A and B are shown apart, each in its own frame.
Chain A
Amino acid sequence: MKTITFTINGEKETRDVSESKTLLNFIREDLHLTGTKEGCGEGECGACTIILNGKAVHSCMMLAVEIDGCDVETVEVMSKDGNLDILQEKFIEHNAVQCGFCTPGMLMSARALLLSNPNPTVDEIKTALEGNICRCTGYKQIIEAVSDAAKGGKYE
């Protein structure tokens, strides 16, 4: 076991964690934040995407001990006091959700993009989402939802 200190969705936390635990399993099993999903477990599908120090990364391909001293955001950061984030609202409005399994990862990739680039082009949106696979083939609606959420360039 190793003691790590990190920020999760804005809250500072100190936890003991097994050195062999992946960050994804730590998030789901220890922090009980089950919005983050395991799809392939090897970096192909993007369902486990989280934001680490402002960048979208796969939580399945990291050890939990690696987040010591880091800032971590999961999909749970997005809604506050029962109010949805603009990205979540636009995903619903554009029917960008079908089975919903890829959605947390899609939202995290889109959020990482808008936080660093508030006015992305469609190509930039596609690049940001290239690591997120949707098997219900809803890419068109997802890209439209992200474009719409970015309107005005004031995402925060």
Chain B
Amino acid sequence: MPTLNYLCPTTSSELKKILKKKKTDSFILAGGTDLLVKIRHNVVKPKEIIDIKKIKKFNEIKLTKTQLNIGCAATLNEIAENKTIKEKFPAIADGSLSIGSTQIRNRGTLVGNLCNSSPVADTVPGLLIYDAKIKILSPTGTKTVSIHDFITGVGKNILKKNEIVESVILPLPKNTKSAFLKNARRKALDLSSVNVAVGLFNKSKKNPDIRIAVGACAPITKRAQKAEKFLKKNGLTDETIKKAAKMLPISPISDLRGSKEFRNKIAHRLFIKLATQLGEV
């Protein structure tokens, strides 16, 4: 590894000053489970590393009356084990738990998973169905954007070079049932062939407020708006669920984690399973 300048701010204001001068060969370090691999393989060649974990509030998972804030340094295991997240946002808890291994989840963060912006990211379908908001910190202050506008391509997002994601905000839902499922070749240490999050946000089977997101099947994981609208209009039955499965916004590719035919089939199956389960209870 080439020589590095390692910066470790302990307050937001210190970080803001560092961000102001941040260059393109300077990289943000939280868990490091993606960054250290990229450095090892010479995918990135940082001259400077900015470690943001020592900023205390970045590590917090905080519940208020209306929302839950997940700080950018909160680890995947902290998130997967958090009582409120397990109860109110199971698709985030289960998505986090499905990543990597115990060791990776003890270091890796949800915000890192988001900022890496991979189409297979296991926390993204959950963030999409809960309409997460992303709080971005820059040298001049903070702003909040919708999760639906954050990821712009494979490995790409709207963050500018002197911005970081400070936290993810999840509005507390009422009457929610939601779940996450992932298909991979093995249970641990594998990326998803397909991952799906589905949530039911009202109690009506006739006009369900259903939200669906299927990952690993398109360059950008998005909500299945057409299928959601169809189900809201036509109700939640075995028949409508099967029809909605054909409306999922998926265009998978064939790669080492599955052929496009396999992915299409699995995406349909996982969605039908989740939607049927949510409709039953």
Interface residues of A (CB under 8 A from B): 2, 18-22, 41-44, 46, 49, 52, 55-58, 60-63, 65-66, 68, 109, 112, 127-132
Contact = CB atoms under 8 A, between A and B. Distances in A.
A60 B32 CA distance: 10
A130 B189 CA distance: 8
- Interface residue SS majority, chain B: loop
Interface of B: 1-6, 8, 29, 32-33, 36-37, 40-41, 49, 51, 53, 77, 100-104, 106-107, 187-189
B37 A43 contact: yes
Contacts of B100: 43, 131
Given A19-B6, A55-B106, A56-B106, A61 B33 contact: yes
A62 B103 contact: no
Contact of A63 (B49, B77, B101, B187): B49
Contacts of A19: 3-6, 49
A129 B101 CA distance: 8
A58 B40 CA distance: 14
Nearest to A105: B103
B129 to A, nearest CB: 25
Contacts of B36: 22, 42-43, 60-63
Contacts of B8: 65, 68
Given A46-B103, A58-B104, A109-B103, A41 B40 contact: yes
A49 B100 CA distance: 14
